[in-house]
Amino acid sequence: MSVTSRGNSATVHQRRFGALVLRLALYSTFCGVFFIIGVEIGRQRSNDSVSSNSGQIEKETESFDQSVDRSHGKIQGVMPMPVISQPGEMGKPFKPTKLSEEQKQRIKDGYSNNGFNQYVSDLINIERSLPDIRQSRCKEPGRHLTNLPKTSIIIIFHNEAWTVLLRTVHSVINRSPPELLQEIILVDDNSTMSHLKGQLDTYMRRFVKVKIVRAPGRVGLIRARMLGADIATGEVLTFLDSHVEPTTGWLPPLLDRIARNFTTVVVPIIEVIDQDTFEFVYDSDPALLKEPFVGSFDWSLTHTWILLPERVKAEINDTSEPYPTPTMAGGLFAISKRYWEYLGKYDPGFDIWGGENLELSFKTWMCGGRLEQVPCSRVGHIFRSKSPYKGREGVEYVKNNLIRLAKVWLDDYAQYYYMTIGNQSGKEYGDISRQIALRQRLQCKPFKWYLENIIPEIFIPGYGFAYGEFRNLGFGGKNCLDSTMDIKDTNVSPILFPCHKQGGNQMFTLTDNYEIRRDGMCLDSPGDDVITFPCHGAKGNQQWMYDISTKQIVHVVSQMCLTAASSSNVTMKPCDTSLTEQRWQLQNFRTKLRTDKFDFN
């Protein structure tokens, strides 16, 4: 399907849109998932094979001890000069060849246990070199304040692979100015792997600034982070996942923004560490760097990405400067401990993970703060295609968290979230009275203010010509247009399904831009078929009109009509007013748009 058939909407930034969509989908799914699995992971790095002997692991890592200054737990001087021929140096991909059957099995086991190629990780130096990928302006002298606050780095782990966790800790220590590093707090969320018990304790004793805290039981990412934050002594809290690699100069740009205003919350640019080859993947094309993405959300309350709006670009000199972002992905960020506690930390009623990133984003902006993305800070993160961990059966903790989020912070706009989940909010979300009282006590602004001022680009389902169910009047008039409209599944044909009046997959909007849309996905017709495709805003194959008199949905470019091919399938056919299969009843239809996009009246 050519780009031109999408209304010539291709621009230079679209080359990485697909990657960012995947990054979003994976991050939203696995950013905080640390579920218990009953397997042992002990195989570690060797020159040509993976050894599962912990004594051999310690022997292999002895060489790192010699450069450790135990007085402050910081490896002295600069990073050792990389041996470029070694696997993974300078972030290069490593693809082992001529593997034995045993090695192939170890690779398979690594994916099963971790969701990434542990075998490759074990062959790469835990202090491997990475390229300095900062823009030139980030390196200019005097760019940051000289008297920066110290930070506590808080890293939550659950059954993390040995070399990946060690590489995270070593890269933080090696690439952070020692005078800015108050401590590294490793919070063990009830790991069951033997290498994360005594072996980890023994290894980390070499670092005076590293503390290991064991949760009393399985508490989940959210509460584990709050546990780490409660014991932190740094002025700033910096949260990282346990499978990251910060790059050169990552920390001062974050602390600089907080030093200038303690109510500023900051996030680095998150780069990709390939799950298969451990390649450090980053944007270096100047054209792409001028078209950065920032965080957003959709009405299923999932974090998404959008291009930095032109109105924001007009306010900054260049894209190496920090710029506001409406939301954060949630895995990597820094916040002053003072502001963290002022905001009430995370909602203590949240369970495991899910929604905490949007909650902190919303209340940062609505309660007097500011959320920024800092381009001079770059951190690599392993994104897994699937989670290796098992969840608790029968507990919809993410849904319950999001219901709490909607009820406390979204005001009247919560209705759009309820429609995406089928208006089934239930009562399992718990008591929210304290969170409502917190919002009142802090005198936080309404969610309408957030939408109008922080993310006016947001798609609002209720602002359009119609929203709700699109009922086909053919075949007894009992069936509605139905589609998951999942951004991970493009080119999927919508179906007809018995109308259930629960929203969800049957909630659509005929927008003011003449799209049939849900969140970031639109109906698109490249020919005789109709599919779902990411909205591009350029009309073309995504432009539809509703004829009030005939009740037909007309595709403007082809002048074909959306037609029920059967009681379960839709297609495109020449418009024929005699066909009931081409007649549609649209819910909440209006002939004129509201004058205020954000007003419910």
* Interatomic CA distance for residues 307 and 324, integer angstroms: 12
pLDDT (0 to 100) of residue 113: 86
pLDDT (0 to 100) of residue 107: 92
* 8 Å CB contact between 232 and 371: no
Give the residues across from 342 on adjacent strands.
none
Q: Which residues contact 348 (CB under 8 A, 6 or more apart)?
A: 223, 226
Tokens 């919070």 sit on residue: 187
pLDDT (0 to 100) of residue 61: 35
* Interatomic CA distance for residues 507 and 490, integer angstroms: 18
User: Looking at the predicted structure, is the pLDDT value of residue 233 above 80?
Assistant: yes
| Residue 216 structure tokens | 């009393």
The more confidently predicted of residues 467 and 182 is: 182
409 closest CA partner among 465, 350, 466: 350
Pairing type for strands 370-382 and 560-564 reads: unpaired
Q: Is 547 exposed, middle or buried (0-12, 13-18, 19+ CB in 10 A)?
A: middle
**Phi, psi angles (nearest 5°) of residue 517:** -140, 150
Coil, helix or strand at residue 440:
helix
Instruction: Give the pLDDT band (50/70/90) at residue 14.
Output: very low
What would the pLDDT profile of 84-110 be if each residue is shown by its tens digit? Answer: 678 999 999 999 989 999 999 999 998
User: Looking at the predicted structure, is the pLDDT value of residue 4 above 70?
Assistant: no
**Phi, psi angles (nearest 5°) of residue 183:** -175, 160
The more confidently predicted of residues 347 and 593 is: 347
Pairing type for strands 570-574 and 521-524 reads: unpaired
What would the pLDDT profile of 536-561 be if each residue is shown by its tens digit? Answer: 888 999 999 999 999 999 999 999 99
pLDDT (0 to 100) of residue 34: 36
Instruction: Give the pLDDT band (50/70/90) at residue 68.
Output: very low
Q: Which residues contact 596 (CB under 8 A, 6 or more apart)?
A: none
Coil, helix or strand at residue 155:
strand
pLDDT (0 to 100) of residue 82: 54
Instruction: Give me the chain's average pLDDT, please.
Output: 84
The more confidently predicted of residues 406 and 35 is: 406
Helix extents (H) in 442-548: 447-453
For the chain, domain boundaries: 466-586
Instruction: Give the pLDDT band (50/70/90) at residue 13.
Output: very low
484 closest CA partner among 25, 115, 30: 25
What would the pLDDT profile of 367-426 be if each residue is shown by its tens digit? Answer: 999 999 999 999 999 988 776 666 566 678 888 999 999 999 999 999 999 888 876 666
Tokens 């969170």 sit on residue: 435
| Residue 105 structure tokens | 């099995």
Asked which of 86-90, 101-105, 140-144, 594-598 is least confident by mean pLDDT, the reply is 594-598
pLDDT (0 to 100) of residue 463: 84
Q: Is 147 exposed, middle or buried (0-12, 13-18, 19+ CB in 10 A)?
A: exposed
User: Looking at the predicted structure, is the pLDDT value of residue 575 above 70?
Assistant: yes
User: Looking at the predicted structure, is the pLDDT value of residue 512 above 80?
Assistant: yes
Q: Give the HSE-up count for residue 42: Cα atoms under 13 Å, Cβ half-sphere.
A: 16
489: left (phi over 0), alpha (psi -120 to 50) or beta: beta
| Residue 350 structure tokens | 């949240």
Q: Give, in order, the Cα–Cα distances in Å from 490 to each of 147, 494, 520.
A: 50, 11, 11
User: Looking at the predicted structure, is the pLDDT value of residue 346 above 70?
Assistant: yes
Instruction: Kindly calculate the radius of gyration of the chain based on its CA atoms and give it in whole angstroms.
Output: 26
Tell whether the torsion through CA atoms of 195, 351, 357 and 301 is positive or negative.
positive
The residue-averaged pLDDT of 437-445 equals: 98
pLDDT (0 to 100) of residue 393: 67
pLDDT (0 to 100) of residue 284: 74
Q: Which residues contact 560 (CB under 8 A, 6 or more apart)?
A: 525, 528, 554, 572, 573, 574, 575
* Interatomic CA distance for residues 164 and 242, integer angstroms: 7
Quick one: which H or E segment has residue 570? strand 570-574
* Interatomic CA distance for residues 544 and 553, integer angstroms: 7
The residue-averaged pLDDT of 360-368 equals: 98
Q: Which residues contact 494 (CB under 8 A, 6 or more apart)?
A: 481, 482, 483, 523, 530, 531, 532, 570
Instruction: Give the pLDDT band (50/70/90) at residue 462.
Output: confident
pLDDT (0 to 100) of residue 103: 93
Class of domain 466-586: mainly beta
Q: pLDDT over 90 for what percent of the chain?
A: 63
Tell whether the torsion through CA atoms of 51, 52, 53 and 56 is positive or negative.
positive
The residue-averaged pLDDT of 351-361 equals: 94
Coil, helix or strand at residue 500:
coil
User: Looking at the predicted structure, is the pLDDT value of residue 54 above 50?
Assistant: no
417 closest CA partner among 363, 473, 460, 464: 460
The residue-averaged pLDDT of 208-220 equals: 94
The residue-averaged pLDDT of 493-498 equals: 94
